[in-house]
Amino acid sequence: MSEDKVICFQEGTVPVSRSSKCICKKGWHGRECSIPDAVWFTEDFERWYSEGLIRRRSRPRKIINGLVFNHELDLLEVRVQELGDAIDNYLVVESPYTYFGTQKPLYLKNNLSAGFLREHKHKIIPITVDYYNYAGGDPWGPENYFRTSVWHEGHRRLKKLRDDDIFIMSDADEIPSRDVVVFLKHHDGFGEPIKLRLRSFTYGFYWEQSTPVDVSGVCTVAYIREVYENDSLRLRSMRTFAQDNMSNAGTFSEYWTIEGTPPCYAGWHCSWCFDVKGIQMKLAAAQRDDGVRWGDIAEKSDASYINSLRKNGLLFDDSPALTPRDPNETAPAFDISLRARVSDFRVLCDEANVSRGCEPCKMVYLTNVRLRSIQREKSTPANRSETACEDGIILQKCGRVRR
């Protein structure tokens, strides 16, 4: 793109009728308003930008997101709806076996067939791994095999891949920020492989952990082929590094963590974000060497015990309590996460619990009342979104409000 010609980046620019320069929306930066907060406030990026290495692409690259799926339907829907057109394809590995080896239904395949995420189904490439690899008794073997399969099997099903396209390897509970993905889609001149620093929550977007978590990894198609031999498990571990730059990738070889700045990180990590039954399923599915395997301790799977953890922001290891947050301010913009949590908390958040001072209960109870009020005023879903946003339901306060 020409250095003299300024083409304002639509997603990050305030629409104005007459202006000689781009006016950036809150949370966006740069001459063309194409750099989101989470990228802009990263030390390595500041250096590359000042050296003139960061460039807008003349054509967007494809972004492919891969993950292993067990039963995380709500989180998958939040991911797909939140990221929208920023992601071109999802490679989703699912097995009829848990990491532990127990047989289970193919929840994703069955739900896709029943119409789940119908409008996005063309993007989602389900990959069924029937083989349970526990040869040699390696407790990590099944999980590693599933992770390897994401790209090893998935890239063969993608058409017209280019070396400069990007692959993001995630866990099912790790959701990248749309703004960060949009930046990667539309720019050249940054280092790879990449880690993402995610704001970390437990049980829902209302209990925050004390520190964010860095997860890997992100790289170009050329990098995963030449350095990791098309093995997405190796990308996840990021133990190998190439000294030479990849040709035709628009990047250079330099480790990069997109750190962001509190509270605007590069995405969300939402651990144990299920209802009670979902948490019980996760406990039972855990692989055989997951530190203390809580699913083997009967009381840890008790519904009343799990509800007490979720209500009070406690963890299975009795570590210090989590920090309560308002998901109107912390969650991804797509509001299904709040609606799912509202439904989930009804059993906990009656008026008695609110009066006793349970902070997440108080917040979710009030939001539930507000949501019901909105639904009475706006009976059709198509007309509801603007009023819901005005009322504060899942507003993204890191530079973007999704309507």
Q: pLDDT per residue over 196-243, tens digit each?
A: 999 999 999 999 999 999 999 999 999 999 999 999 999 999 987 787
Selection from 8-22, 201-215, 316-330 with the highest mean pLDDT = 201-215
In sequence order, the 6+-apart residues with CB closer than 8 A to the CB of 237 are 216
**Adjacent-strand bridge partners of 63:** 166
Q: What are phi and psi of 375, to 5 degrees?
A: -65, -30
Asked if the model's pLDDT at residue 334 lies above 50, the reply is yes
Amino acid symbol at 138: D
Domain boundaries, the chain: 1-33, 63-269, 328-403
Asked if the model's pLDDT at residue 346 lies above 70, the reply is no
Separation CA 180–CA 55 (nearest Å): 15
Q: Give the pLDDT band (50/70/90) at residue 391.
A: very low
What is the tens place of the pLDDT at every residue in 129-177? 987 766 666 777 788 889 999 999 999 999 999 999 999 999 999 999 9
Separation CA 403–CA 388 (nearest Å): 9
Report pLDDT for 70. 94
Mean pLDDT of 383-397: 32
Report pLDDT for 258. 98
Burial of 249 (0-12, 13-18, 19+ CB in 10 A): buried
Number of residues that this document lists for the chain: 403
**260 contacts 271 by C-beta, under 8 angstroms:** no
Q: Give the pLDDT band (50/70/90) at residue 291.
A: low
Q: Give the pLDDT band (50/70/90) at residue 17.
A: low
**173 contacts 71 by C-beta, under 8 angstroms:** no
Report pLDDT for 389. 28
Mean pLDDT of 272-283: 92
Asked if the model's pLDDT at residue 4 lies above 60, the reply is yes
Report pLDDT for 3. 53
User: Per CATH, is 63-269 categorized as 3.10.20?
Assistant: no
What is the tens place of the pLDDT at every residue in 57-68? 999 999 999 999
